[in-house]
Amino acid sequence: METNEQENLYVNKHIYLKSPIREYAGKLYNIINVNRDYFSQFMAWPKFVTNETDTANFLDKCVAEHQKNIAKTYVILHDDDPVGLLSFNQIDKANKTAYIGYWLDSRVQGKGIMTQAIKVLTNFYAEHRIIKRFVIKCSVDNSKSNQVAKRCGFSYEGTLKQAEYLNGIYHDQNIYGLISSYL
């Protein structure tokens, strides 16, 4: 794994994580549009992304948060094409804890892209002693996301009852944690 001054993280010869920039808005919006029904099963935000400008504005917000170190968002590139996002949606600096969020184009799922990307991201921030604890929360019904957390070495810590209101229904969320041995 290598990184450059923009905190791009290289996973392998096919996958790397790049700091968000507007130039990816069109391709990311197309992915969201193609996967809208699929993503909407487990996330509330897809219905609010109605055009490429919404995606561009979101990426601008991510850049600002990235620079302030209050969140970190990376575009996942597979063979130089955007295929999803991986982020620390929130960073609790006082407790060195990061809350991870992610989504991946359904057309490239099942290839280990997200698992490898999360491992590189968590290892980088742990090795640099920036983050001690990593957290993934996901719907108990999202079997793929639950499996990603387990494959990445996260431990199941419990279930938050009716923790997420989505599509008019309250859903339970599983919470997974990964504690770094570096800090």
Backbone angles phi, psi at 56, to 5 degrees: -60, -45
Handedness of CA 74, 77, 82, 86 (dihedral sign): negative
Q: What pLDDT is attached to residue 117?
A: 98
Q: What pLDDT is attached to residue 4?
A: 38
Whether residue 15 contacts residue 116, with contact meaning beta carbons closer than 8 Å, is answered with yes
In a domain, 27, yes or no: yes
Q: Residue count of the chain, please give it.
A: 183
Q: pLDDT class for 183, splitting at 50, 70, 90?
A: low
Q: What pLDDT is attached to residue 182?
A: 78
Whether residue 166 contacts residue 44, with contact meaning beta carbons closer than 8 Å, is answered with yes
pLDDT of 6 above 80: no
Per-residue pLDDT tens digits for 51-95: 999 999 999 999 999 889 999 999 999 999 999 999 999 999 999
Q: What is the mean pLDDT of residues 17-32?
A: 96
Rounded to two decimals, the pTM is 0.93
Whether residue 146 contacts residue 140, with contact meaning beta carbons closer than 8 Å, is answered with yes
Whether residue 145 contacts residue 175, with contact meaning beta carbons closer than 8 Å, is answered with no
Residues 176 and 130: their CA atoms lie apart, in Å, by: 19
Q: What pLDDT is attached to residue 126?
A: 96
In a domain, 67, yes or no: yes
pLDDT of 5 above 50: no
Per-residue pLDDT tens digits for 118-166: 999 999 999 999 999 999 999 999 999 999 999 999 999 999 999 999 9
CATH number, residue 28: 3.40.630.30
Please compute Rg for the chain using Cα positions. Answer: 16
Which of the two residues, 7 and 42, has the higher pLDDT score?
A: 42
In a domain, 29, yes or no: yes
In a domain, 25, yes or no: yes
Q: Which domain holds residue 38?
A: 9-132
- Comparing C-alpha atoms, which of 100, 138, 103, 106 is closest to residue 119? 100
In a domain, 56, yes or no: yes
Tokens, residue 39 = 């993503």
From residue 10, alpha-carbon distances to 2, 55, 76, 78 in Å are 6, 24, 10, 11
Q: What pLDDT is attached to residue 2?
A: 39
In a domain, 163, yes or no: no
Q: What pLDDT is attached to residue 7?
A: 73
In a domain, 74, yes or no: yes
Per-residue pLDDT tens digits for 98-107: 999 999 999 9
In a domain, 161, yes or no: no
- Considering its fold, how many domains does the chain have in total? 1
In this structure, the number of other CB atoms found within 10 A of the CB of residue 121 comes to: 26
